[in-house]
Chain A
Amino acid sequence: MRGVSISPKVRRHRLLIRVALLAVYVGLATLAFVTGKGHTVLIDNKDTEQAEGIDGVLVAVNGGEQLELYRGDRDKATVQGRSMRVRLEVFADGTIVEKRLRLPLGQDMLLLSLPSLLAGSEPALVPFVPAAASAPVEEEAFSSEDLSEEELPPLEPPAP
């Protein structure tokens, strides 16, 4: 567009919009990050200092399918976002507890202790620090050979 000069007013206006757009971009990214953040929650029915494990209980996370836990059992569920809904139904007296718990952004691994949840005492949801967190789940030897042509399926194009 030679010769078409944009008036300073329009230019300022556009600058504003572009800045706004940048903000929106960052906003979206954080939104995706926050709402999409996935957590692995270990649902634990072991005895704790305060309360002892429940004899039998049905647990549903975010209205998902129900997990049946007996005393000392542990199971895991993956949840997404900032909070989770837990619904437990104790076999013994059929009491139903429904709780909404906030998920910390930082941790990927959380431990939910049902007894303390039932007892409603101190935070039932705590960061889980696995004993062998450092050791990766599966081993995988890696060497540059994996990249070289011989190993690749016939469809590989040349990688000089």
Chain B
Amino acid sequence: MSGKRSLGRFFTEYAVVIIFLVITLASIKPSGLSLVYIVQEMLIRLGRNSFLVLALLLPIYAGMGLNFGMTLGAMAGQIGLIFAINWNISGVQGLAFAALLGMPISLAMGWVCGAVLNRAKGREMVTGYILAYFINGIYQFIVLYLMGSVIPITSPAILLSRGYGIRNTLNLEGVRQSLDKLLLLRLGPFALPMATYMVIALLCLFIIWFRKSKLGQDMRAVGHDMAVAGMSGIAVDQTRIVAIIISTVLACFGQIIFLQNMGNLATYNAHDQTSFFAVAAILVGGASVKKATIPNVIIGVVLLHSLFVVSPLAGQKLFGSAMIGEYFRSFIGYGVIALSLVLYAWRSRRETERARESLRGGASGAVAVGEGAP
């Protein structure tokens, strides 16, 4: 293909990343933040968010788009944490306990989510999104009404004054940053939570390995073309469900890591933003609905969050109102998701058209699809 076209391709390919990079760099200056500060923030946020974002990869491989249903996993993780706090299990053990407790829940949730998405093929994303809201309702019902009344909660400190239902915000005193602090490496002005990084690295290794496995291969096949995969005997629906289950469980762990770093848990809202941040991050990193890599994740987290760090102050300086920065960053977040979804849909249509154009007129080699059986 001609150099010009490939250059154009490159820009449509990385439009999102480029736009984002520009905005971020532009707003660093006015924000007046020191580079050291920003870098430190990045180091923290990499540990905090990467795991969650990585949870998105498998469903993308399986051609199910961005898994907005990951929120289900996040809720499972929070339930795990609530119990850990309830029994006052502190330190890394507390986190481990929460994870172990959340795992079976997120397994079940993932299965539900996968089954639902299989009934909405081609509409996975919006369905996953709504499913997250639906389950959120059930989560609130359990946590707000059943906990303390039906489900025994021993620690009065986390209960609402009315005697049942969990408080709006839980203090994660016992487990706060216990993973980050486990192996804190001081490097000049920076502090690196090595333990967290190791966990993330492990996950990356797992994903790399997984792509080499038979299941990973099947997932890719299903992702490319369900019909063909099915014809060759791959259990399409089951494979898709597995992809979602793994993603959900990872999201559960991811949320726990996220919260231990934050240090407190907004019982009823903490999960609302999970999928939004994760999806925005991976897209900012240059991933698309059909294609994503581990570098996309890392780049995405850094880019997105560097903007999130600087934008409020930039807004403050430029418009004299921090709120503008706040709004601006969520505008950017939503905008990026919208933009890359649009670009993807639009580009894939263009691709198919281009593919067909080559067969126009007296071109040799007819179309590959027959009229089927008469």
User: When A and B assemble into the complex, do they touch directly, with CB atoms less than 8 Å apart?
Assistant: yes
Residues of A within 8 A of B268 (CB): 146-147
Choose one: B97, B162, B273; the contact of A36 (CB below 8 Å). Answer: B97
Q: How far is the CB of A97 from chain B (nearest CB, A)?
A: 27
Contact string, A142-154, partner B, CB cutoff 8 A, digits 1/0?
A: 1000110000111
Residues of A within 8 A of B160 (CB): 140, 142
A80-B87 Cα distance, complex, nearest whole Å: 12
In the A-B complex, the 3 residue pairs with the closest CB atoms: A36-B93, A36-B89, A38-B90
Interface size class of A (residues with CB under 8 A): 20 to 34
Contact A147 B140 (CB under 8 A): yes
Kindly state whether residue A108 has any CB partner on chain B within 8 Å. Answer: yes
Given A136-B156, A136-B157, A140-B167; A37-B272 close (CB under 8 Å):
no
Contact A155 B161 (CB under 8 A): no
Contact B269 A152 (CB under 8 A): yes
Residues of A within 8 A of B140 (CB): 147
A28-B100 Cα distance, complex, nearest whole Å: 8
B contact residues vs A (CB 8 Å cutoff)? 84, 87-94, 96-97, 100-101, 133, 136, 140, 155-157, 159-162, 165, 167-168, 174, 214, 233, 268-269, 272-273, 276, 323, 326-327, 330
- Closest A residue by C-beta to B215: A1
Residues of B within 8 A of A140 (CB): 160-161, 167-168
The SS class assigned to the A binding surface is loop
Residues of A within 8 A of B84 (CB): 36
Contact A38 B161 (CB under 8 A): no
Residues of A within 8 A of B92 (CB): 36
Residues of A within 8 A of B269 (CB): 147, 152, 156
A28-B168 Cα distance, complex, nearest whole Å: 30
Choose one: A136, A141, A157, A160; the contact of B159 (CB below 8 Å). Answer: A136
Contact A36 B90 (CB under 8 A): yes
Residues of B within 8 A of A39 (CB): 88
Residues of A within 8 A of B272 (CB): 156-157, 159
A25-B276 Cα distance, complex, nearest whole Å: 32
Q: How far is the CB of B144 from chain A (nearest CB, A)?
A: 8
Q: How far is the CB of A159 from chain B (nearest CB, A)?
A: 7
Q: How far is the CB of B5 from chain A (nearest CB, A)?
A: 38
Given A38-B90, A80-B90; A25-B157 close (CB under 8 Å):
no
Q: How far is the CB of A144 from chain B (nearest CB, A)?
A: 8
Residues of B within 8 A of A139 (CB): 161
Q: How far is the CB of A145 from chain B (nearest CB, A)?
A: 11
- Closest B residue by C-beta to A153: B326
Contact string, A1-20, partner B, CB cutoff 8 A, digits 1/0?
A: 11000000000000000000
A16-B214 Cα distance, complex, nearest whole Å: 24
A99-B330 Cα distance, complex, nearest whole Å: 56
